[in-house]
Structure 1
Amino acid sequence: MKMKAAVCVRAGGPEVLELREIPVPEVRQGWSLIRIRGAGLNRSELRTRQGHSPTVTFPRVLGIECVGTVAASATLPEGTTVAAVMGELGRRFDGGYAEYALIPDALLMPVKTTLPWPVLAALPETFLTAQGALDTLPLEPGGRLLIRGGTSSVGLAAASIATALGVETAATTRHATKTAALTTDHALVDDGSLPEALRKIWPDGPDATLDLVGATTALESLRLVRPGGTVCVAGSLSGWVIKDLEPIAMIPSGTRLTAFHSKTVQGDAPALQRIVDAVEAGRYDSHLDRVFALEDIVAAHRVMENDESAGKLVAVP
């Protein structure tokens, strides 16, 4: 039995993603065969495709998250709706850019939902990351949160969650044309004048900052929060490494720096169910930007690489 899959044949530009017919994986002990109904696109896959993931070998079907139904399993009933994220999906073994994927049972998160497949596919990695990152911050109703990288899918998800909690939020974008996509109380353009713009809103600074830009902005974020505030770095839009970091000289006294990695929420079915329920109830917006057919995965990666989206991109077989 054959299936269609977008195979990354080597490191390079979007054109190295080739639509091929490959064998459907055979079920084995501890793994289930999932019929893929949608796969969210992530910058992690973009960097892997570019050759920045030395542990990944090619050819490889990328895709670190997916949603679908159980096609064959020794542990779950056939037809069960499931999601999966991380756990070397799309890295050590083939991922979600395909019609089927063989996934370890430990990664599968059964969910009950009436959401359309593309909307459901927009949620797992993005919202679990956003929720996990916000859980590291001391946020309470009436508190103040700054989100840097606000038009990223995680930034938009974090804004939905924080707003529903009753937190006053501000979010940044580098592109003035994208401010309309920001659903926060305050939309700010991060063009070098952010400290001045932020002081006009909150003279003492935010209580907390979720920094999804990462390496190039983390130190400035530490200076922007109120004294004793907290910064969580949960994204790497600008890279992984803060160069020449001198903690005592650069971190204001009493200010806290923390981080979040989505590996800590992989397999957390109850957390995902709460997110799905909130989207169904209208408390959260999925922020689904565009849906691509699997055959158009090259075009989808070009949109992602050129920062042309404001929200989540999803591919469907």
Structure 2
Amino acid sequence: MKAIVITQSGGPEVLKLTDVQKPEPQPGEVLIKVAAAGVNRPDVAQRKGVYPPPPGAPQNIPGLEVAGVIEAVGSAVTLWKPGDRVCALVSGGGYAVYCVAPEGQCLPVPGQLSFTEAASLPETLFTVWSNVFDRGKLQPGESLLVHGGSSGIGVTAIQVAKALGNTVYVTAGSDDKCRFCEQLGAAKAVNYKQEKFVEVIKQITQGKGVNVILDMIGGDYTPGNIEVLAEDGRLVMINTMKGKDANVDLSVVMRKRLTLTGSTLRARDTAFKSAIAQALLKHVWPLIITGVIKPVIHQTFPAHDAEGAHRLMESSSHTGKIVLEF
């Protein structure tokens, strides 16, 4: 089969369309004929050689989310049959004509969505649900601050949190991106290149702060995050784009009874990810089917131009998801 292979660690040009062995589903897996695959920052990190895939995942084929038609099922599969339209979270191997996925990490393509739209859903929805609602314990009526509001994670967090009864604030890097986020449902978007998010959030919340922060920036954002958290607030880290080191005033953490936590999803086991899939099916899928939550796709690329897709991802000029089409 054809797949996009990382030929060596490096820039986007190391991604090459290559013939590789077609995978075979294990007893609890399904084989998906891929119609579309989402592009995510972990794919870029893997290509650069700084984010190795977990054991058992394809080592040189990136891709964490796919949509397509199930072609074959393993001997122990009970949830799916050949011909079913699904989207799935995978540990790697999504940039390929065929991909295997654990049956519990598959979800039905919602409603009348296209495969391209469905492929944009799993990675961000699994990440947002696991970190904002499970780890961050965001409750209806509480407030959420998301850094990187126009990213794939950001547009997902805005829509899901607002739909479930939360006030959402975000940061973004341009006035256009801020307007985009507010049109999606953010109560306020802060242009971090022109304003200090700490000052704006404090003013908007009349000094009370926010209940949960979803942060993919890290580094020198961390003291500000702690400053704008409300009492009993929760900071959830999912990336450290500005660095893994930060100076933190621990007395503030104690005085406000804050929770500092975070996670990475890729290496978690199938049972953990399958539980998230069931939560999404119950709480989020009906909102997608009724159009309350919509896929936000910035641009699609033909699979053979994965290089172009990665260049766009690294430019950070996109608003929403980038998807490869097979």
- TM-score bracket relative to the smaller structure: 0.7 to 0.9
What is the aligned partner in structure 1 of residue 309 from structure 2? 300
Q: Is the 8 A contact 2:198 2:227 kept in 1?
A: no
CA drift of 1:5 comes to: 1.2
TM-score, normalised via structure 2 length: 0.85
> 66-75 or 24-33, which moves further after superposition?
24-33
> 223-232 or 103-112, which moves further after superposition?
103-112
Which segments of 5 or more consecutive residues in structure 1 lack a partner in the other structure?
Answer: none
Q: How far apart, CA to CA, are the structure 1 residues paired with 2:200 and 2:212?
A: 16
SS of alignment partner, residue 13 of structure 2: helix
SS of alignment partner, residue 69 of structure 2: strand
Q: Is the 8 A contact 1:141 1:166 kept in 2?
A: yes
What is the aligned partner in structure 2 of residue 196 from structure 1? 199
Matched, 1:116 2:120: no
Length, aligned pairs only: 307
Instruction: Report the RMSD for the aligned CA atoms in angstroms.
Output: 2.5
Equivalent AA in structure 1 for residue 2 of structure 2: K
Q: How far apart, CA to CA, are the structure 2 residues paired with 1:287 and 1:55?
A: 27
Equivalent AA in structure 2 for residue 278 of structure 1: L
Q: How far apart, CA to CA, are the structure 1 residues paired with 2:83 and 2:145?
A: 41
What is the aligned partner in structure 1 of residue 278 from structure 2? 270
Equivalent AA in structure 1 for residue 146 of structure 2: I
Query: Percent of aligned positions with the same letter in both sequences?
Result: 28
What is the aligned partner in structure 2 of residue 128 from structure 1? 126
Equivalent AA in structure 2 for residue 188 of structure 1: V
Equivalent AA in structure 2 for residue 24 of structure 1: K
Which segments of 5 or more consecutive residues in structure 2 lack a partner in the other structure?
Answer: none
Q: Is the 8 A contact 1:212 1:233 kept in 2?
A: yes
SS of alignment partner, residue 66 of structure 2: strand
Q: How far apart, CA to CA, are the structure 2 residues paired with 1:313 and 1:45?
A: 12
Matched, 1:288 2:297: yes
Distance 1:229 1:53, change over 3 A: closer
Q: How far apart, CA to CA, are the structure 1 residues paired with 2:70 and 2:258?
A: 46
Q: How far apart, CA to CA, are the structure 2 residues paired with 1:276 and 1:315?
A: 23
Q: How far apart, CA to CA, are the structure 1 residues paired with 2:125 and 2:236?
A: 16
Distance 1:122 1:143, change over 3 A: same
Q: How big is each residue's C-alpha offset from its partner over 1:127-176, in whole Å with a ceiling of 9 and x where there is no partner?
A: 12112222133534433221112111111111111111222221101333
Distance 1:252 1:43, change over 3 A: same
Matched, 1:223 2:227: yes
Q: Is the 8 A contact 2:222 2:248 kept in 1?
A: no
> 129-138 or 292-301, which moves further after superposition?
129-138
SS of alignment partner, residue 226 of structure 1: strand
CA drift of 1:177 comes to: 3.5
Distance 1:156 1:27, change over 3 A: closer
SS of alignment partner, residue 61 of structure 1: coil
CA drift of 1:219 comes to: 2.7
Q: Is the 8 A contact 1:34 1:100 kept in 2?
A: yes
What is the aligned partner in structure 2 of residue 316 from structure 1? 325
Distance 1:44 1:284, change over 3 A: same
TM-score, normalised via structure 1 length: 0.87
Q: Is the 8 A contact 2:144 2:213 kept in 1?
A: yes
What is the aligned partner in structure 1 of residue 146 from structure 2? 147
Q: How big is each residue's C-alpha offset from its partner over 1:154-209, in whole Å with a ceiling of 9 and x where there is no partner?
A: 11111111111222221101333421221301111123622222222112212222
CA drift of 1:213 comes to: 1.9
Q: How far apart, CA to CA, are the structure 1 residues paired with 2:224 and 2:161?
A: 22
